[in-house]
Amino acid sequence: MAPVSKRDKKEEEEGGNIFQNLDKTSVLQDARTFNDTPVNPRKCTPILTKILYLLNQGEQLGTTEATEAFFAMTKLFQSKNAVLRRMVYLGIKELSTLAEDVIIVTSSLTKDMTGKEDLYRAAAIRALCSITDATMLQTIERYMKQAIVDKNPSVASAALVSSLHMSKTAGDVVKRWVNEAQEAINSDNVMVQYHALGLLYHIRKTDRLAVNKLVAKLTRMNLKSPFAVCMLIRIACKQLEKDGGDYADSPLFDFVESCLRHKSETVTYEAAAALVNLRNTTARQVAPAVSVLQLFCSSSKPVLRFAAVRTLNKVATTHPPVVTSCNFDLENLITDSNRSIATLAITTLLKTGAESAVDRLMKQIASFVSEISDEFKIVVVQAIRALCLKFPRKHSTLMTFLSAMLRDEGGLEYKASIADTIITIIEDNPEAKEIGLAHLCEFIEDCEHVSLAVRILHLLGKEGPKTIQPSRYIRFIYNRVILEIAVIRAAAVSALAQFGALCPDLLPNILVLLARCQMDTDDEVRDRATYYYHLLKLQEKGLIFNYIVDPMQVCLVSLEKSLAQQVHDKVPTKFDLKSVPPAPVVSTTEDTAKETIPEGSISSAPNRIVPVQSTVSSYAEKLQGVPGLQSIPGTLFHVSEPIELTESETEYVVTCTKLTYPHHLVLQFECKNTLSDQLLENVRVQIEASEGYRIVKEIPIPKLPYNETHCAYVVLQFPEQLSLTVTNFGATLRFIVKDCDPSTGIPDADDGYDDDYMLEDVEISISDQIEKVSMDREAFDRAWEAASDEDFTESEDTFNLPGMSGLEQAVTKVVKFLALEPTGLTKVSERSSFTLCLPGMFRGGVEVLIRAKLAVANNGVSMQFTVRSAHSDIAELICAAVG
Amino acid sequence: MEGLLLEPSLYTVKGIAILDNDGHRVLAKYYDPAVFPTSKEQRAFEKNLFNKTHRANAEIIMLDGLTCVYKSNVDLFFYVMGSSHENELILMSVLQCLYDSISQILRKNVEKRTIFENLEIVMLAMDEICDGGILLEADPTSVVQRVAIRTDDIPLGEQTVAQVLQSAKEQIKWSLLK
């Protein structure tokens, strides 16, 4: 038997793939057969198929090769063989981007497109549109319009879809076909209807009224195509979102809801998902969608179950109580053979589950966790993390579970996500700290991932000294010094130094250990040990605090640049560290925004480490490229949020970004021209600088064609007198208009006329001059105490903030006004008074500490506002600006 | 996660792939230049996709930010990829149409050997189902009609002897099965 089956197999392999081992050169050689007359379809079709197969396999053709093949292929138009002709169309589409002079086949394709053979027409249209550009499109416009309303559905669909593709390059031409598209939407064919709706919406989507009309009409029309209904649901939701506010008596909302009862599952699911994804829905509005999804949960089709549980997962984040009714169905899905479904079911249950159910669920997960792959384990770990934050009292159960998972086999990412979770729990829940640290200590005893060990050691250094019994961690850390590689040893030495700095009673022991580390074979470890040993030996509080416990945070990228500049300039000035902007603050809001990766998804590539570049340094780089802006002294210090100076739907759209340098202010105006029949030249923003400010330079935009965005700049010098810096500038956009042809963008005449356009005022506030600094609460308190001596001045005032409904609102408003990063901001709403601490850095590198004590008063919130700064003017300025 | 409404657009399909039982590409097309722009990235994705799917017959998976629905038969794997927020059921109808059309074209012999024998027709069918990421036709019967062959009426003269025998064998087999 064996030899026979082997031969069979071999035969099969040989016969199985006649396309195996194809050689590009020989296939292209074969393409010469295309030139024979009469054309032999039996020979040519396989050759053409081979060419297309090679292209599909990712073979690269050079321009000459492609062009030669393309021209040989055009000979095949002589053949009447249907398959061959269709393959030629396919070939044209594939080669259109590679070969040159492809427009040569326009007339042949136009002939086929308008010919009698229905089989050719649709495909010819699609091939033709792939080789046509905006200017050529006008010559075939008449045929396209006819094709859109053709009674053959495949022709109409092809024309509609091609129009949509073309609208990317020739939007204006396609816009003229709106009447034809309108007619096609009434077609009996479901696909034509769907495509017509897609094109119609694409043409009209900028015009809200027209879209509203379209939707209103179609919702009454009862579209036949389920795809078209899905599309309509999406459009309706988009409109609902734009209108905002209340959905209660909106006909659009009623339409979406009515689609829940559509006979097609595709539509009902689309409607349910749309309702779930709509913002600001009430639980009652989501409930019908949830009951539809619940039905899907018990479907026999995995796709439907997956779709349902994934959407329920989303509901669980927004309206957890609504999903609880599905808990029973979800629990059945935990054992689903599709692991994505099972994992999603688990995470959904964890989100909605009550505190009492946690133990039971964890048991269920434990039975299942060993069977699933790392990617899904990570998803589960993330769900557990959310659970820990929700039920802090359950931390011991969850922590034990996590440490068990930590001991299992697993890749770096999986382990890192567990460690992350434990770290988050420790940070969030002081009760869990000791247990968490103990688990982590145990983990680093046997951890093969260097980066993870280093992170944990750093954490031990930060958190360990603050525990009741710091000495117990020393052993774990010192073990690392003895047993591990250099990188980990260095991290362990730094952690030891932290203990030495913060626990005076352990200091003698630490000194002994550090002294031993000075004998290390690695330079870095030795350097660190020596550095810390000598600092600690001095036993000087200030030094220890500034150089071990809370070392300075500067933006490393900027520091590197400044130092390079310093070396390059060879100026014998002293390097001023304060000129370097502080490290960018990663605010917690950004963190949540990053989690856009859908749950239940797995990713093959490890999360790419995005090089951390702050907005400041990216702007600094950009400005370096603008001629005329390099000469500004100092480094870029602060970048404001962009502010719109026009309504978003006007002729010219201008947004302003304020860039602060130590002594200069650069206003960047991003201008966009939305008029297709105008070319703007010499575009500049004229600023009416207020008293004290001096305009140093203006950089205009030489040319601003339609639909392009360019930047104009104005450089100003800050006034000497600080109180004048907070002000408003009047702004006007000035430019030369040249009327031009909308389709080509070439101006009609050489000379234009001057025109201007009023912009809204540019406001320069205090927040533009302060950069946020990240600091934890303790560090702030220490800095605050340190700032009480005579070097610092204090400015204090009391304000009444009327019309504030609560503390939370007041805090948000103050933080937003100053655009700083608050320290230790915790649940504000539960208290009646709150102290807000805002550390910052004024331009020029002056430290600013702001403390605002807020308390609920009879009518609003009262605030005691205190500023401490080394510079008295700054303190006064900030105080005054708040009032 | 915050509300994520789908942008109303016809561009539904990010890619279609047919792989063999070793995970090698038979045919594949990617429609979004932002998704796997180079051949190398596409290969890497396919390899990964195949590794994740060839054992578990689960129909749907989310991989690298894409929702992938799949179906396998004998020694072939059919995949349709869409954005992770896309309606999974629409993707499923694309897959179903792809599979059913090919099945009709190959007269229910959906396997690697026959697919290579009819590669040109399969290419045409894929082109009829999806054009540049837009679902062009979801009904397999229409697709088969449009790819220029109606399965039963290729003139006998244009078929090779082997093809005639093959179709005869098929017809006998199917009549027996009924």
For residue B93, what pLDDT is reported? 93
Does any domain span residue B7?
Answer: no
Chain B residues near residue A83 by CB distance under 8 angstroms: 120-121, 124, 148-149
Over residues A195-208, mean pLDDT: 88
Measure A533 CA to nearest chain B CA, in Å: 48
Comparing A4-13, A176-185, A443-452, B90-99, which segment has the lowest mean pLDDT? A4-13
Say how far apart CA A19 and CA A15 lie, in whole Å: 10
Which element (helix H / strand E) includes A541?
A: helix A541-544
Ranges of H-type helices in A244-357: 251-258, 265-277, 283-297, 302-318, 320-323, 327-333, 339-352
For residue B162, what pLDDT is reported? 62
Domain boundaries, chain A: 205-210+217-281, 616-764, 770-882
For residue A131, what pLDDT is reported? 86
Q: What is the mean pLDDT of chain A?
A: 79
Touching B: A residues 102-141, CB under 8 Å: 119, 122-123, 126
Q: Are B120 and A238 within 8 A, CB to CB?
A: no
For residue A663, what pLDDT is reported? 82
For residue B144, what pLDDT is reported? 87
Range list of β-strands (E), A81-213: none
Does any domain span residue B3?
Answer: no
For A350, other C-beta atoms within 10 Å of its C-beta total 22
Does any domain span residue B126?
Answer: yes
For residue A689, what pLDDT is reported? 79
- Give Cα separations from A761 to A583, A685, A758 (angstroms): 31, 11, 9
B3 touches chain A (CB under 8 A): yes
What angle in degrees, to the nearest 10, is found between the helix axes of A507-517 and A471-483? 0
CATH of the domain at B43: 3.30.450.60
Residues B133 and B164 in one domain: no
For residue A497, what pLDDT is reported? 87
Residues A72, A34 contacting (CB under 8 angstroms): yes
For residue A445, what pLDDT is reported? 82
CATH topology of domain A770-882: TATA-Binding Protein (3.30.310)
Measure B176 CA to nearest chain A CA, in Å: 25
State the burial class of residue A145 (Cβ atoms within 10 Å of its Cβ: 0-12, 13-18, 19+): middle
Residues B141 and B53 in one domain: yes
Residues B126 and B143 in one domain: yes
Q: How many residues does chain B have?
A: 178
CA-based R_g, chain B, Å: 17
Q: Has residue B90 got a pLDDT over 90?
A: yes
Instruction: Measure CB to CB from residue B62 to each of A227, A304, A340 and give the nearest one.
Output: A340
Number of domains in chain B: 2
A360 or B130, higher pLDDT: B130
Over residues A664-671, mean pLDDT: 86
For residue B170, what pLDDT is reported? 72
Q: Are A306 and B84 within 8 A, CB to CB?
A: no
Can you tell me whether residue B72 is helix, strand or coil? strand
Does any domain span residue B2?
Answer: no
For A536, other C-beta atoms within 10 Å of its C-beta total 21
Residue A553 phi, psi (nearest 5): -110, 115
Q: Has residue A325 got a pLDDT over 60?
A: yes
Q: Would you place residue B120 in the very low, low, confident or very high pLDDT band (cuts 50, 70, 90)? A: confident
Complex confidence, ipTM: 0.84
Over residues A204-218, mean pLDDT: 86
Tell me which CATH homologous superfamily contains domain A616-764.
Answer: Coatomer, gamma subunit, appendage domain (2.60.40.1480)
Can you spell out the DSSP letters for B124-155?
HHHHHHEETTEE----HHHHHHHTT--TT-S-
For residue B77, what pLDDT is reported? 92
Chain B residues near residue A237 by CB distance under 8 angstroms: 5
Percent with pLDDT over 70 in chain A: 87
Q: Are B146 and A119 within 8 A, CB to CB?
A: yes
Does any domain span residue B100?
Answer: yes
Does any domain span residue B5?
Answer: no
- Note the pLDDT tens digit of each residue in A49-79: 888 898 888 888 888 888 888 888 888 888 8
Say how far apart CA A252 and CA A278 lie, in whole Å: 12
Chain B residues near residue A604 by CB distance under 8 angstroms: 44-45, 48, 63-64
- Note the pLDDT tens digit of each residue in A380-412: 888 888 777 777 777 788 888 888 888 777 777
B154 touches chain A (CB under 8 A): no
A484 touches chain B (CB under 8 A): no
Chain A residues near residue B56 by CB distance under 8 angstroms: 337-339
Measure B150 CA to nearest chain A CA, in Å: 11
Residues B108 and B78 in one domain: yes
Q: Are B87 and A191 within 8 A, CB to CB?
A: no
Touching B: A residues 249-268, CB under 8 Å: 265-266
- Note the pLDDT tens digit of each residue in A780-790: 777 777 766 66
Nearest CA in chain A to B158: A42
Residues A113, A75 contacting (CB under 8 angstroms): no
- Note the pLDDT tens digit of each residue in B72-81: 888 899 999 9
- Give Cα separations from A361 to A335, A386, A422, A488, A782 (angstroms): 13, 14, 19, 37, 44
Mutation target among A128, A200, A340 for the B interface, most CBs of B within 10 A: A340
CA–chain centroid gap for A588, Å, is: 15
Sorted by sequence, the CB contacts under 8 Å of residue B111 that are 6+ apart come out as B73, B74, B75, B76
A97 touches chain B (CB under 8 A): no
Residues B68 and B112 in one domain: yes
Q: Has residue A255 got a pLDDT over 50?
A: yes
First CA to last CA distance, chain B: 52
Say how far apart CA A257 and CA A267 lie, in whole Å: 11
For A574, other C-beta atoms within 10 Å of its C-beta total 7
Residues B142 and B173 in one domain: no
Q: Are A195 and B10 within 8 A, CB to CB?
A: yes
Q: Which amino acid is residue A371, in one-letter code? A: E
Over residues A648-663, mean pLDDT: 81
Does any domain span residue B76?
Answer: yes
Q: Which domain holds residue B178?
A: 152-178
Measure A710 CA to nearest chain B CA, in Å: 25
Chain B residues near residue A339 by CB distance under 8 angstroms: 56, 58
